[in-house]
Amino acid sequence: MKKLFSEFKAFINRGNVIDMAIGVIIATAFGAITSALVNNIFMPLVGLATGGTDFTDKLNWVVVAATTNEAGEVIDPGVTIGFGTLLSAVINFLIIALICFAIVKSFNKMAERAKKAEEPAAEEPAAPPAPTEAELLTEIRDLLKENAKKE
Flag whether pLDDT at 53 surpasses 60: no
56-112: per-residue pLDDT in tens? Answer: 667 778 888 888 888 888 788 788 888 888 887 888 788 878 887 888 899 889 989
pTM (global) more than 0.85:
no
Three-state SS string over 78-134 comes to CEEEEHHHHHHHHHHHHHHHHHHHHHHHHHHHHHHHHHHHHCCCCCCCCCCCCCCHH
Which domains does the chain possess?
2-119 (1.10.1200.120)
DSSP state of 127: P
